[in-house]
Amino acid sequence: MKRKQTIKRKLLFIYLSILISMVGINALITYAGKTSIKKYEEMTSSLIMEQNLKNQTEATFNTYSEMMINYTDEAKATYQAELHKLNNLLQEIGNKIEFEESIITYKGVVNTVERLQNEFQQGEQKLEQNRLTIEAKQHLNKAREIVEFIDENTNELISKELNYTEQMQKEIKQKFEFQFYLQLILFGLIIIGSTWLIIRFANHTKKRLKMIERAAKQLENGNLQHTSIENLIKGSDEIAGLAISFETMKKSITEMIMQMKTSGNEIQHASQHLSHMMDRSSEVNDTIVNSVYLVSETANEQCNLVDSSVENIDSSLQTIQKISQYSQEMMHGANILNEETINGQRIVHAMISSSMEVNDFLTHFKELILDLNKRSNEITQIIELITTVSRQTNLLSLNAAIEAERSGAAGRGFAVVAKEIRKLAEQTNEASNKIGTIISGIQTDVDEVNTRVTGEMSHIVEERNELDTSTQEAFVTMSTHSNQLKEKIHQVNERILSLEKELTSLNGGMQQLSEMSTALAVDSQQSSAATEEHAHSIGEVNKEVMRLKQLGIDNEELIQHFDVLDEDNKEEEGKI
């Protein structure tokens, strides 16, 4: 059996289609955003590891220098551990680098680190043969030069990765802007499409109801030949059920009218025969004429009352059926509207809660940015302290060199140390300046992110709050209209009660008709007593009167039978 497609199911299908489309678009855009953020986080992690590479290279060289001065198993184990960390860090950086230019620079760093390890191994071999030999010191100096070269290559790698990161930031920003506008366009298309579907569905439903209304007006005017609505019966919703009931009612009324027409012809024929018999009996007795005259008047009044009662009953029955069907449909629609209004209010409350969560997230994000800015300031202070120390170290190395010159040949070794210290101070000063420049750039980016996030997100949250408020007001208006619709249905029910009173009045008319029939029977008996000599003619008259009475009973049964058919049609409609 085919499943019944009700109006409620059609509206629910439209609503679910809109909801599923919006959820799918949000899911796709959210997934794309998370993928871009994850890639950006990997780039940031790669930059941190590349910065750690410089520190780890310096740490490995320092442990190697300490091992050259104090060659013990503990110093050797420390050096091996630092060297192992350096190799692992290089491997992790290689797994994360994707930019082609960065890959080329990374390969150069790897080759330089391999050269550094070779110098370490050769210096260690020389040291095992003879501690602190000149060749071991030469390898140590070469290793220092390689470390400086590694620092330069690492700085170059970091610079390229920073450029690639900035490029990724621009791409992510463009992608987010494109996704935002795409989301707006798609949501607009969904809203336009859903509005078009709803308007088309409403116009289609209105057109079908108009067809039923026109057919009902034609039926009310007595036109039974041009009230067909068979096209509406092909459907399976409530309107199709209403059309089936209307067609069934029309067929029943047509059959009843045809039967009443046949009965009317028979009554007319019997009346003619009765008139002929009365003409024959008029010569016999004036009493019979008077009785027949009284019977004729009573019969005419009875016919008028019967016709009036039949018309009132037909009109009232049709009106009650229409109003009852419309009232049930309106009550059903009002309940559906009330349920949808309640669901819409729940959705609006959920949207408001989501907006509050977004506000909390933005507040936390802003606090994190401020904390990052604060930490950057602290790092800047530390760099200034390192710069000051390196300058003082440089001055001390100059003083030491001057004193070594004064000491002559005895201070040459001390002069070499002073030169190395000065070189180390210059390198430290240079590194501090570079770090200061990087930190300054980070602070600028953090301030820009803070400004843009605060402005853009505040605007978005404000717009969403306004949308939530307007949506909630719309649902309140819908709830008000739903209550007004229920009030209209209540008025319709009062109209049904008034129609019941009208039927009660018609009942009284039928009782009056019964009393007049009794009076007619009495007059007929008087005529029978006065005209005994015309018993045969009176018998014929009595037969015709009984025939008319039987026809009246048949007409009454026909009206009652129409009510039974109407109930059967309702049962058949329920089965359909």
* HEC readout, 423-460: HHHHHHHHHHHHHHHHHHHHHHHHHHHHHHHHHHHHHH
189 has a pLDDT exceeding 80: yes
Mean pLDDT computed over 149-164: 77
Residue 235 zone, left/alpha/beta (φ > 0; ψ -120 to 50; rest): beta
**Secondary structure (3-state) at 6:** coil
445 compared with 292, residue with greater pLDDT: 445
Mean pLDDT computed over 403-417: 71
Q: What is the DSSP letter of 411?
A: G
User: Measured between alpha carbons, how far is 205 from 215 in angstroms, rounded to an integer?
Assistant: 16
What pLDDT is recorded for position 163? 78
61 has a pLDDT exceeding 70: yes
404 compared with 65, residue with greater pLDDT: 65
What pLDDT is recorded for position 365? 67
| Closest residue by Cα to residue 58 from 155, 147, 153 | 147
**Secondary structure (3-state) at 487:** helix
User: Which residues neighbour 465 within 8 Å (Cβ) at sequence distance 6 or greater?
Assistant: 355
527 has a pLDDT exceeding 60: no
Q: What pLDDT band is residue 39 in, cutting at 50, 70 and 90?
A: low
Mean pLDDT computed over 344-350: 70
426 has a pLDDT exceeding 80: no
178 has a pLDDT exceeding 70: yes
| Closest residue by Cα to residue 141 from 65, 193, 88, 198 | 65
What pLDDT is recorded for position 506? 56
Q: What pLDDT band is residue 18 in, cutting at 50, 70 and 90?
A: confident
DSSP string, 335-359: HHHHHHHHHHHHHHHHHHHHHHHHH
175 has a pLDDT exceeding 70: yes
Phi, psi (deg, nearest 5) at residue 127: -70, -35
Mean pLDDT computed over 10-16: 74
Continuous segment of H or E residues that includes residue 126:
helix 100-129
Q: What pLDDT band is residue 276 in, cutting at 50, 70 and 90?
A: low
What pLDDT is recorded for position 574? 42
6 has a pLDDT exceeding 80: no
Q: What pLDDT band is residue 563 in, cutting at 50, 70 and 90?
A: very low
- For residue 57 the two structure tokens come to 């290279």
What pLDDT is recorded for position 566? 43
291 has a pLDDT exceeding 60: no
Q: What is the DSSP letter of 511?
A: H
Mean pLDDT computed over 129-147: 71
**Secondary structure (3-state) at 507:** helix
84 has a pLDDT exceeding 80: yes
CA 332, 337, 341 angle in degrees (round to 5)? 150
Of 145-154, 270-279, 387-396, 407-416, the range with the lowest mean pLDDT is 270-279
Place of tokens 């710069």: 387
What pLDDT is recorded for position 269? 65
96 has a pLDDT exceeding 60: yes
Give me the numbers of helices (H) and strands (E) for the chain, helices first please. Answer: 9, 0
What pLDDT is recorded for position 387? 78
Measured CA to CA in angstroms, residue 364 lies from 173, 405, 424, 447, 462 at distances of 21, 61, 43, 16, 18
Mean pLDDT computed over 62-67: 81
Long-range CB pairs of 261-265 (<8 Å, 24+ gap) are 263/551, 263/554, 263/555, 263/558
Q: What is the DSSP letter of 480?
A: H
Place of tokens 């039978």: 561
441 compared with 516, residue with greater pLDDT: 441
Q: What pLDDT band is residue 181 in, cutting at 50, 70 and 90?
A: confident
Q: What pLDDT band is residue 55 in, cutting at 50, 70 and 90?
A: confident
Measured CA to CA in angstroms, residue 319 lies from 210, 322, 560 at distances of 17, 5, 17
The domains found in the chain, sorted by start residue, are 1-200 (1.20.120.1730)
216 compared with 57, residue with greater pLDDT: 57
Percentage, residues of the chain above pLDDT 90: 0
pLDDT 10s digits, 193-230? 878 888 887 787 778 778 777 777 777 776 666 556 66
pLDDT 10s digits, 432-483? 777 778 777 776 876 776 776 666 666 666 766 776 677 667 667 767 766 7
Helix axes 238-282, 134-220, angle to 10 degrees: 10
What is the average pLDDT value for the chain, to the nearest integer? 69
User: Measured between alpha carbons, how far is 516 from 522 in angstroms, rounded to an integer?
Assistant: 10
Would you say the pTM of this structure is higher than 0.85?
A: no
565 has a pLDDT exceeding 50: no
568 has a pLDDT exceeding 50: no
Ranges 40-54, 260-274, 303-317, 540-554, most confident: 40-54
CA 69, 72, 73 angle in degrees (round to 5)? 145
41 has a pLDDT exceeding 70: no
Residue 398: Cβ within 10 Å count = 14
Q: What is the DSSP letter of 531?
A: T
309 has a pLDDT exceeding 60: no
Of 69-73, 302-306, 343-347, 375-379, the range with the lowest mean pLDDT is 302-306
388 has a pLDDT exceeding 70: yes
| Closest residue by Cα to residue 402 from 393, 410, 411 | 411
Mean pLDDT computed over 26-48: 69
Using an 8 Å Cβ cutoff, are 205 and 239 in contact? yes
303 compared with 486, residue with greater pLDDT: 486
In this structure, what is the dihedral angle of CA atoms 299, 304, 309, 311, given to the nearest 10 degrees?
Answer: 140
43 has a pLDDT exceeding 80: no
Q: What pLDDT band is residue 323 in, cutting at 50, 70 and 90?
A: low
* CA-based end-to-end distance of the chain: 10
503 has a pLDDT exceeding 60: no
pLDDT 10s digits, 547-556? 666 665 666 5
Of 54-58, 110-114, 362-366, 369-373, the range with the lowest mean pLDDT is 362-366
Mean pLDDT computed over 268-272: 59
What pLDDT is recorded for position 512? 64
User: What number of residues does the chain have?
Assistant: 576
- For residue 269 the two structure tokens come to 């024929």
User: Measured between alpha carbons, how far is 407 from 404 in angstroms, rounded to an integer?
Assistant: 5
Residue 566: Cβ within 10 Å count = 16
